[in-house]
Structure 1
Amino acid sequence: MKDHDGGDAAPLPLVPIRSAEGAWLEDFEGRRYLDAVGSWWTNIFGHRHPYIVEQLKQQLDTLDHVMLAGFTHAPVVELSERLVKLAPPGLSRCTYADNGSSAVEVALKMSFHYWRNTGKPGKTRFIALENGYHGETLGALAVGGPSMYRDTYAPLLLSPIHVPSPDCYERGPGESWEDYTRRQFQHMELALERHAHEVCAVIVEPLVQCAGGMRMYHPIYLSLLREACDRHGVHLIADEIAVGFGRTGTMFACELAPPLQYGTGAKRGITPDFLCLSKGLTAGTLPLAVTLTRETIFEAFYDDYAAGKAFLHSHSYTGNPIGCRAALATLDLFEREQPLASNRLLSNLMWTQTAELRAHPHVAEVRQQGMILAIELAKNVHRKTPYPAAERRGLRAYRHALGATKDRGVLLRPLGNVLYFMPPYVIAPREIEWLAQVTLEAVRAATAD
């Protein structure tokens, strides 16, 4: 059995967790663990946030579930209206699912089906970035990049067009993030020039390729990509499952795309044709996902039954009222607690507290985008020579951090040789300081020989 760090489950015993509160998990012996990775990037307001818990209790008193086919309910209507107001302008329709992979499947299928419904059945392929990750159902897996996830299932998968990533870890000495990102965009431009006639959509993780090692790129890529997709008649799918809801510094990462032409009235941000959301949508309490799209795409499916244009995609728990209530409570907390402002202080503290790590002889890079900070270990930092995967350096750091002190540890979840922080937004400054100190000690332990 394999997971996001590419390791097997056998060498380490499972850690049985009894309870959780705020940024902390607690096992059955009373030992506490700082959840530095937000329980796989889902938990943004801390475990068992009292407001979310109370809202869930109230929802259970009225409605647990009803199918979202021929029926509807108040939580899903309200959630849809609020998401449309929050999302980049122009996204007016919501399709619900119950996990991130399914949200991506909705986008892929709907894009393909749109072109079929509008008289362009030859558009059947997708363009994706190398090293991208979009989930593990078959469609989502196909447009992913890392071979460790997809190679076993290759005979079952679509054949997308993969282009080199704008990942700025690979930039040359003295080259800026923006210059390198612009240079890497040439690969995407060439792919669109050659294949737009057969391509439904381009899919990307805006700004951070999370499961691919928290690799990051400059937001100019999103601006260039939006313009190119428009010019070539191709949809743009933004997979913000991991980076949405404040992780990158704004509510959605797409908001950070700079204008291509600066001047009077120039605005930041781009609107994708499909926006895939999950994880932080319910603050890590319940599984829920949504794919937002444009009115013009919705209209391509809106016809008489006999026309055969309907989008037939559903899940038993689509738009579950309890999940929707958790999402509504999450949006309430964004309004009440204004975490985007406080996160700027926390992200600055994460950066300053990792200064000593940036000087470590086996840390090739410390990079950050908002509330995501990654530490890349390397055998030779000048050449960026990675440690061999078999040496499991990240796993050594993970073990050390779990046992940091007698009564408490830190949950780091390495991605190969990359350690990263994606903590809940309720993490306290003193907890960030302790997290950075434990991580420094873990890096020293992992690179000692």
Structure 2
Amino acid sequence: MNNADLIRRDLDVLWHPCTQMKDHETNPPVPIKRGKGVWLEDYDGREFIDAVSSWWVNLFGHANPRINARIREQMEQLEHVILAGFSHEPVVELSERLVDLAPEGLTRAFYADNGSSAIEVALKMSFHYWLNRGQSQKTRFVALTGSYHGETLGALSVGHVPLYRETYGPLLLEAIHAPSPDCYHREPGEDCAEYAERQFAEMERILAENADEVCAVVVEPLVQCVGGMRMHDPVYLERLREACDRYGIHLIADEIAVGFGRTGTMFACEQAGITPDFMCLSKGLTAGYLPLAATLTTEEVYCAFYDDFNNLTAFLHSHSFTGNPLGCAAALATLDIFAEDEVIESNRRKAEVMGEAMAPLNDHPKVAEVRQTGMILAAEMSPDPANRTAYPWQERRGLHVYRHGLENRALLRPLGNVVYLMPPYVISEEEIHHLARVATEGIDIATRD
């Protein structure tokens, strides 16, 4: 088997996600045979550092022996069982440990299959809570401009990235979108905290005017990832939590991409010292091994559904593979690594190395900003950095960076004009410097007029 053979077979039968398939006429898919640590290897023997953690899911490297062993042990005992009316030890232990790790006050775990589904659970649960409490007029949601929360229709409704949302506009809920606190758009001389405070004024107005009909505010804490790795100051979350309490509105924290150490703390909400009413987790929950998601919520929310059967207040949302034992085993192994290896502390040094390695781009004539939150670092290409002008999306500048990366042992997958690093935590300092060099070269190529 070689690359060409598998590519031919692939293009005969597969429809790839998030892809214009005609692109594969000139940019064929890369067939991967195996992975080890941060490295991926194709069928022709080429190797690539997985700089994007395979869509931000991989935390501790490919084919991690500790996670492999835990899944293998579980597989020999119980692969799956219905979670309605039944239970199993891995899902109970995982729930206990997530509740212990999460911000204080989150006491219940509800499982789904993926991040979009976790958001759907939170949206439905919030609406249903208010319904059970006799406030049926609460039917709307507030989110931020530039936000992304998934591809299912409810999750897409609260998202605000036009590329994903506009086509399906007629099918979506009518969410309210408040201006993002994205620090990239601050005024000269204004720091990120000041900008976040200023941007919150419009959110305050929206909540004040619509409190009676709003179920919840949905937010990606600290980093709006799909929207271009847009970063904001934690003070925005502090203000938002206080306002939601004041107006009687739930706060949903979408920690799907930013949870499990990506931002420098276990969960991004910790940096604001807040507890959301719902916290959605997926991606790194199983360190990239298996599809699993959890929506954590409070005892108050749980109790709003706890009632006699005949009152029909139960939350009937379900997935066939809810709480799958193999996924739970992968998640438990992931949490063991966090507990035993001082991962958060180790990441702080690696984040410093990432910042140092990419720092020269601050002086690049076609880079408007280099920004970083923990193990997420992004560089924004611009034809006029002083005015934050964007390259037209039709020019596909990021594609040049992607191609250059593949030619130089790196999987880089820019978001439009934003080149970013979000590698597995097992990356070495030498490998970080390699990625920085390749990314810088790619930006040089992509920004040539």
TM-score surpassing 0.5? Answer: yes
Quote the offset at 1:4 in angstroms: 5.7
Quote the offset at 1:3 in angstroms: 5.7
Distance (Å, rounded) in 2 between the aligned partners of 1:397 and 1:296: 48
SS of residue matched to 1:120 = coil
2:361 counterpart (343, 357, 361) = 357
Distance (Å, rounded) in 2 between the aligned partners of 1:448 and 1:309: 60
Quote the offset at 1:174 in angstroms: 1.0
Q: Is 1:434 equivalent to 2:438 in the alignment?
A: no
1:139 counterpart (136, 148, 154) = 154
Distance (Å, rounded) in 1 between the aligned partners of 2:18 and 2:192: 26
Distance (Å, rounded) in 2 between the aligned partners of 1:184 and 1:208: 15
Quote the offset at 1:357 in angstroms: 1.2
Contact 1:24 1:34 in 2 (8 A): yes
Quote the offset at 1:6 in angstroms: 8.5
Quote the offset at 1:211 in angstroms: 0.2
SS of residue matched to 2:67 = helix
The C-alpha deviation readout for 1:335-354, integer Å capped at 9, x for no partner, is: 11111001000000000111
Contact 1:65 1:322 in 2 (8 A): yes
Aligned to 1:105: 120
Distance (Å, rounded) in 1 between the aligned partners of 2:18 and 2:290: 20
Aligned to 1:82: 97
SS of residue matched to 1:218 = coil
The C-alpha deviation readout for 1:254-273, integer Å capped at 9, x for no partner, is: 0001xxxxxxxxxxx10000
SS of residue matched to 1:183 = helix
Aligned to 1:175: 190
Q: Is 1:197 equivalent to 2:201 in the alignment?
A: no
Equivalent pairs, count: 434
Distance (Å, rounded) in 2 between the aligned partners of 1:177 and 1:40: 27
Quote the offset at 1:12 in angstroms: 1.2
The letter for the 2-side match of 1:321 is: P
Aligned to 1:392: 396
- Taking the TM superposition and a 5 Å limit, the aligned residue runs for 1:31-430 are 31-257=46-272, 269-404=273-408, 409-430=409-430
When the two structures are superposed, what TM-score results if normalisation uses the length of structure 1? 0.95
Distance (Å, rounded) in 1 between the aligned partners of 2:218 and 2:206: 13
Quote the offset at 1:447 in angstroms: 1.0
Contact 1:64 1:322 in 2 (8 A): yes
Distance (Å, rounded) in 2 between the aligned partners of 1:201 and 1:379: 39
Quote the offset at 1:2 in angstroms: 8.4
SS of residue matched to 1:155 = helix
Aligned to 2:444: 444
Contact 1:204 1:238 in 2 (8 A): yes
Aligned to 1:30: 45
SS of residue matched to 2:386 = coil
Contact 1:394 1:416 in 2 (8 A): yes
Distance (Å, rounded) in 2 between the aligned partners of 1:120 and 1:230: 16
The letter for the 2-side match of 1:53 is: N
Distance (Å, rounded) in 2 between the aligned partners of 1:8 and 1:251: 40
- Structure 1 residues 6 and 179 mapped into 2: Cα distance closer, same or farther (>3 Å)? farther
Quote the offset at 1:7 in angstroms: 9.2
- Structure 1 residues 279 and 8 mapped into 2: Cα distance closer, same or farther (>3 Å)? farther
Quote the offset at 1:115 in angstroms: 0.2
SS of residue matched to 1:194 = helix
Distance (Å, rounded) in 1 between the aligned partners of 2:129 and 2:96: 23
Contact 1:2 1:8 in 2 (8 A): no
Distance (Å, rounded) in 2 between the aligned partners of 1:220 and 1:397: 34
Distance (Å, rounded) in 2 between the aligned partners of 1:166 and 1:187: 10
Bigger share in helix = 2
- Calculate the aligned-residue CA RMSD, in Å: 1.2
SS of residue matched to 2:160 = coil
SS of residue matched to 2:78 = coil
Distance (Å, rounded) in 1 between the aligned partners of 2:319 and 2:167: 26
Aligned to 1:263: none
The letter for the 2-side match of 1:20 is: G
Distance (Å, rounded) in 1 between the aligned partners of 2:359 and 2:100: 39
The C-alpha deviation readout for 1:237-296, integer Å capped at 9, x for no partner, is: 000000000000000000001xxxxxxxxxxx1000000000000000000000000001
Distance (Å, rounded) in 1 between the aligned partners of 2:359 and 2:247: 44
Contact 1:5 1:413 in 2 (8 A): no
Distance (Å, rounded) in 1 between the aligned partners of 2:389 and 2:159: 24
Greater relative CO, 1 or 2 (CA 8 Å, sep 6+): 1
SS of residue matched to 2:289 = coil
Percentage of pairs with the same residue = 62
Distance (Å, rounded) in 2 between the aligned partners of 1:9 and 1:327: 35
- Structure 1 residues 382 and 8 mapped into 2: Cα distance closer, same or farther (>3 Å)? farther
The letter for the 2-side match of 1:417 is: N
SS of residue matched to 2:360 = helix
Quote the offset at 1:197 in angstroms: 0.5
